[in-house]
Amino acid sequence: MKDVMIYKDYIGSVHYSTEDEVFCGKIEGINDLISFEGNSVAELKSAFEEAVEDYLELCNINDKEPEKMYKGSFNVRIRPELHKRAAQRALLEGKSLNQYVEEAIEQYSEKGRG
């Protein structure tokens, strides 16, 4: 994992601003821009958790879905050789390339979950 915090299944990206000498971040995977900051890791963590709680409360008040909606399709650019190998492997397994890629992403994304 790189420069992220997790709270209630929300991910906060984290950066350090040398100009302002402060840790800052934003909540990822939502339709709004919600940022947070702190002068220490403890302050940053507290600010992130507070930002998530405030955002969820605001969404509840406004009857708004907090998470960004994903449509389930996206374009991926890969090396032609990898595309060929994946297409051939999918064919050998009797699957479409979409099915093959979806299964691969599902398997890979489940690795870190415990």
pTM of the model: 0.72
Please state the rounded mean pLDDT for residues 16-21: 92
Domain ranges of the chain: 4-61, 70-114
pLDDT score recorded for residue 69: 85
pLDDT at 44: 95
Q: Is 110 helix (H, G, I), strand (E, B) or coil?
A: helix
Which H or E run contains 46? helix 41-61
pLDDT digits (tens, 9 = 90+) for 88-102: 999 999 999 999 999
The pLDDT score that the predictor gives to residue 45 is: 95
1 to 5, 38, 106: CA distances (angstroms): 9, 20, 18
CA 69, distance to chain mean position in Å, is: 12
Decide if 101 contacts 86 (C-beta within 8 A).
Answer: yes
- pLDDT higher than threshold 60 for residue 10: yes
